[in-house]
Structure 1
Amino acid sequence: MRTVEVVAYDDRWPEMFREEAAAYRDLKRRLAERFPADIAAYVAGKDAFVKALEQRALAWWNARRDSEKYGIDEKRG
């Protein structure tokens, strides 16, 4: 069971993942309404979304890191 949530933050994240943030907010609201007294079901309901978003964020982070490491302009490739 997870007792601590660690969040890595980049100031550009909200604008890059705005649609995902809205979808996550809506998912959490729906799950809270569906499982008001069942935290395990609430957490399980978020699992697939969070894992998919994590993979997307890691890919973005790695591309950003590589562009800085090799001097690649992200806008030009």
Structure 2
Amino acid sequence: MWGVHQRMAELWNIQSNQRKLTKEEMSELKICLDANMIKCRKVATLKNLSLVASMTEDNEWQHDICSAIEKLYEDFH
């Protein structure tokens, strides 16, 4: 699991089950959410580019894009 997701889950658990988050923890949660959004946006962009590569039958480009997607997902293991 990506470290950002682990910390986001910890902070959510604190907020949901224990107490309100401190200002510092809220700031940290926002940083985690921003990082998650950036990674999701990158994956979505690459998937859209992969579709374009497929539609234009550019197999080499599509292979490069798929490799980039796999590299992004490596962080989750």
* Structure-2-length-normalised TM-score: 0.49
* Structure-1-length-normalised TM-score: 0.49
Higher relative contact order, structure no. (Cα contacts within 8 Å, ≥ 6 residues apart): 2
Bigger CA radius of gyration: 2
